[in-house]
Amino acid sequence: MSDTPFPAGFLWGGALAANQSEGSYLADGKGLTTVDMIPHGANRMAVKLGLEKRFTLREEEFYPSHDAIDFYHRYKEDIALMAEMGFTVFRTSIAWSRLFPDGDELTPNADGIAFYHKVFTECRKYGIEPLVTLAHFDVPMHLVIEYGSWRNRKMIDFFARYARTCFEAFDGLVKYWLTFNEINILLHSPFSGAGLVFEPGENHEQVKYQAAHHELVASALVTKIAHEVNPQNQVGCMLAGGNFYPWSCKPEDVWAALQKDRENLFFIDVQARGAYPAYSARLFREKGVTLEITDEDAAILRHTVDFISFSYYASRCASAEMNEQNSSAANVVKSLTNPHIARSAWGWGIDPLGLRITMNMMYDRYQKPLFLVENGLGARDELTAAGEIHDDYRISYLQQHIEAMAEAIADGIPVMGYTTWGCIDLVAASTGEMSKRYGLVYVDRDDMGNGTLQRTRKKSFWWYKKVIASNGRDLSSE
Ligand code: BG6
């Protein structure tokens, strides 16, 4: 057993998101949301990317979010499992359309508030701190159809009303908030990321960056509101993280990697520093983007986040010769295939040192506490005849990444906590599969929605319980 650099009070836990776990997509007044329109199968990508307009459901298609893993009805059992592992934090999101089914109402749906009140109270019963994302890949469909989603400035006020409702309704239950999940994914998956659907002939960059501006203003505004409602509230931004490595030491490759990093860090630069970065003027000019930014927007942007949260699955790699043919999208962001790192069954890189590199870069850049709110291995699990799951590959992935995070803490970086992704198996955001499993708890459900939904503890469940009990000191797998 090695010593632990994890401070006392370090938050250990796991993460789910409403749209991938709750199901009950129209229960108790909930409205349709973007993810409810994204089918499983061949048409999925075009809809996710905003290239195919889908404003109505099709009978012949299967929509994994509609039932998901039924967290809506099984939250007590699921939170009890988390408590059994010793979680001190549970990250989930609120589905905007449970509180505001259309998104533009003046008053919230009481049933939606009641549901999350029960969930957060259940967490508190076990001493689990909820960490709540306000927007995790779901925008009420009415806002998409009537207003064009985040391309429209009116979204700022709708979102602010929704966020204020959450801060007031859950005051005393929740103090850690995230505004937009993986805000940079708006650029890479515009419909699932931000409800954007493109019209023929449009400059996509213009639409995306104007929408990004509205999200950034909304994020800063709700950060301000969160602090007004309760000065104890702590608000974070959320980046789909992972540094780009240059393919070689050729200066052109190094420059390409720096540019690719900026594409993603642009968002956090604004949220953490309170203004657009110097490089953005040229970026917009070269992309033919002209943003509408008011003086009032610039003033609101100065309300910066309290901490930086991020997901990390793998590092990325770029070269000057990178193009559509030689790159592929692992976790949505396009990258060259780095020959020096291992890969998961879904082709995602496995690079624990990349986590330490990413964390050091982010702290050097922002000097704000970090929170690793997503990390994990999507893998196919097999139930043995005895009903067990021996997921040693997952234990090994998590072990190596927790070790890398420990090194980053030893490097001097303040880290608030760690929530492993999909702590209970859920629907994969990219592919809509159930068979791409991240959980420490297995859920009996297949890609087409068959199964009993029964929960089974995996080998990693017992391992993670020991990790938490020892505050990260004991990472051994035996
Ligand atoms: C992140 C998202 O991109 O990665 C999650 O915030 C997502 O919603 C996770 O599920 C893993 O990706 P995937 O596609 O394997 O589910």
Neighbouring residues of 415: CB distance < 8 A, sequence distance ≥ 6: 10, 359, 369, 370, 371, 372, 405, 408, 409
What pLDDT score was predicted for residue 96? 98
What pLDDT score was predicted for residue 329? 77
Instruction: For 39, list phi and psi in degrees, rounded to 5.
Output: -80, 165
- 330 versus 141: the higher-pLDDT residue is 141
pLDDT tens digits along 290-304: 999 999 999 999 999
Is residue 435 over pLDDT 70? yes
CA of 130 to the centre of ligand 1 (A): 19
- Ligand 1 atom with the smallest distance to the CA of 348 is 15
| 1 confidence band (pLDDT: 50, 70, 90) | very low
3-state secondary structure of 158: helix
Residue nearest to atom 10 of ligand 1 (CA): 429
Active-site position among 321, 374, 403, 407 = 374
User: What would the mean pLDDT of 366-387 be, rounded to a whole number?
Assistant: 97
What pLDDT score was predicted for residue 325? 85
Give the position of tokens 């919230």: 108
Separation between Cα atoms, residue 92 and residue 94, nearest integer Å: 7
The strand ranges marked E within 96-202 are 129-135, 176-180
Residue nearest to atom 8 of ligand 1 (CA): 429
CA of 202 to the centre of ligand 1 (A): 28
Whether the pTM exceeds 0.85: the reply is yes
Closest CA to 240 of 177, 319, 333: 333
Separation between Cα atoms, residue 162 and residue 58, nearest integer Å: 29
- Ligand 1 atom with the smallest distance to the CA of 19 is 8
Is residue 213 over pLDDT 50? yes
Residue nearest to atom 3 of ligand 1 (CA): 331
CA of 332 to the centre of ligand 1 (A): 9
**Does the annotation mark 374 as catalytic?**
yes
CA of 426 to the centre of ligand 1 (A): 10
What pLDDT score was predicted for residue 324? 84
Is residue 370 over pLDDT 60? yes
Mean pLDDT of the residues in the chain: 97
CA of 262 to the centre of ligand 1 (A): 21
Pocket test of ligand 1: the residue of 344, 372, 375, 421 to mutate, having most ligand atoms within 8 Å of its CB, is 421
User: What would the mean pLDDT of 419-430 be, rounded to a whole number?
Assistant: 98
Separation between Cα atoms, residue 34 and residue 138, nearest integer Å: 5
pLDDT tens digits along 308-362: 999 999 999 999 999 988 888 776 889 999 999 999 999 999 999 999 999 999 9
User: What would the mean pLDDT of 65-81 be, rounded to a whole number?
Assistant: 98
Residue nearest to atom 4 of ligand 1 (CA): 331
Give the least confident one: 233-237, 245-249, 269-273, 326-330.
326-330
Closest CA to 326 of 314, 313, 315, 339: 339
User: What would the mean pLDDT of 30-46 be, rounded to a whole number?
Assistant: 96
Is residue 236 over pLDDT 70? yes
- Ligand 1 atom with the smallest distance to the CA of 427 is 16
Give the position of tokens 């979204």: 155
Give the least confident one: 3-12, 422-431, 448-457.
3-12
What pLDDT score was predicted for residue 251? 98
Pocket test of ligand 1: the residue of 38, 311, 423 to mutate, having most ligand atoms within 8 Å of its CB, is 311
What pLDDT score was predicted for residue 412? 98
- Tokens for 469? 């009990």
CA of 180 to the centre of ligand 1 (A): 14
Residue nearest to atom 2 of ligand 1 (CA): 429
- Pocket around ligand 1 at a 6 A CB cut-off: 17, 20, 137, 181-182, 240, 311, 331, 374, 378, 421, 428-430, 436
| 184 confidence band (pLDDT: 50, 70, 90) | very high
CA of 427 to the centre of ligand 1 (A): 9
Q: Is 83 exposed, middle or buried (0-12, 13-18, 19+ CB in 10 A)?
A: middle
Q: Is 124 exposed, middle or buried (0-12, 13-18, 19+ CB in 10 A)?
A: middle
Separation between Cα atoms, residue 143 and residue 166, nearest integer Å: 19
The one-letter code for the residue type at 299 is A
- Over pLDDT 90: what percentage of the chain? 96
Is residue 157 over pLDDT 80? yes
Q: Is 393 exposed, middle or buried (0-12, 13-18, 19+ CB in 10 A)?
A: middle
- Ligand 1 atom with the smallest distance to the CA of 422 is 10
**CB burial readout 399-429, b (16+ within 10 A) else e:** bbbbbbbbbbbeeebebbbbbbbbbbbbbbb
- Ligand 1 atom with the smallest distance to the CA of 421 is 9
Residue 250 to residues 255, 263, 354, Cα–Cα distance (Å): 9, 20, 20
